[in-house]
Amino acid sequence: MIVKANDPRISWQGIISLEVTESFVKPWRIPFKDRELFPPKEMLERASAPAGVRLSFHTDSTFILGKIENPKSEDPAFLDVFCNGVFFESILISNANEFQVRNLSGGENFIEIWLPQFTEFRLKSLTFDKNSSLRPFVDDRPKWITYGSSITHCKTAEKPSLTWPSIVSREHGMNLTCLGYAGNCHLEPNLAMMIRDTPADFISIKLGINVHNHASMSVRTFMPGVVGFVNYS
């Protein structure tokens, strides 16, 4: 059974938007259609990397084949597969055009695939056992948005499920949306409004290091900027 990446039975979690084309679906952590409003280029690059994003669904298939576009990354890119909330395996997808998950147990399982935190990901299709079941995962856990810099983006975490937001969300049973943008946490009003418009039960913000390192604010403007960002979001 082959399903397209935009099949409604596949749940994309932790996204802000999806870029849907004839050949692939790509997750974004900003509104894709309004991406020109989120400069500079480095910000777009960070927002296109799916930190904290998961593919989630229920299936009784014992096998999953994912067709992807070859990820372009200087660093190793992994998928982390969880089955019924338990780590199952990590899959290296650097320089690959597909991935496989084998030997899943019989009966319906909840599958959650954590996407690489610092590499773009384009999914073309998923293939399951013939006549297998497939239904979306409806997440009723509290929604948590966390905003920050590289400390939140976690490029150097060994695997996508080992970033600190990923670990915290699993340990505390929360539905994560990670808005860590390495080197690009500068209290932009459009990001505050994006957070405001995204459903959440909890919001956490990690501020300061990018503002300091890039001198994007002064002693005079930093505190009002923080107050304004919090009020907007």
The residues spanned by each domain of the chain are 2-136, 143-232
Q: What is the mean pLDDT of the chain?
A: 96
The first and second tokens of residue 122, run together, are 């384009």
Question: What pLDDT was estimated at residue 72?
Answer: 76
Question: What pLDDT was estimated at residue 158?
Answer: 96
The first and second tokens of residue 22, run together, are 């004839």
Q: Is the pTM of this model over 0.75?
A: yes
Give the single-character DSSP code of 74. S
Is the distance from CB of 195 to CB of 179 less than 8 angstroms? yes
**Is residue 47 pLDDT above 80, yes or no?**
yes
- Write the pLDDT tens digit of every residue in 181-230: 999 999 999 999 999 999 999 999 999 999 988 999 898 999 998 999 99
Q: What percent of the chain lies above the pLDDT cut of 70? A: 100
Question: What pLDDT was estimated at residue 97?
Answer: 95
**Is residue 177 pLDDT above 90, yes or no?**
yes
CATH number of 2-136: 2.60.120.260
Give the single-character DSSP code of 6. T
**Is residue 112 pLDDT above 90, yes or no?**
yes
Q: Is the peptide bond before 40 cis (omega within 30 degrees of 0)?
A: yes
What phi and psi values does residue 210 have, to the nearest 5 degrees?
A: -70, -40
Q: Which CATH architecture has domain 143-232?
A: 3-Layer(aba) Sandwich (3.40)
Question: What pLDDT was estimated at residue 3?
Answer: 98
CA distance 196 to 146: 12
Q: Which of 43-52, 67-76, 185-194 has the lowest mean pLDDT?
A: 67-76
Strand order from edge to edge, sheet including 175-180: 175-180, 143-148, 202-205
CA distance 51 to 26: 13
CA distance 233 to 215: 23
**Is residue 73 pLDDT above 80, yes or no?**
no
**Is residue 71 pLDDT above 80, yes or no?**
no
Q: Where are the beta strands (DSSP E) in the chain?
A: 2-4, 11-13, 17-20, 25-28, 54-59, 64-68, 78-83, 86-92, 98-101, 109-114, 123-128, 134-136, 143-148, 175-180, 202-205
Task: Tell me the angle at which helices 219-232 and 189-196 cross, rounded to the nearest 10 degrees.
Answer: 20
Q: Which of 61-70, 92-101, 212-221 has the lowest mean pLDDT?
A: 212-221
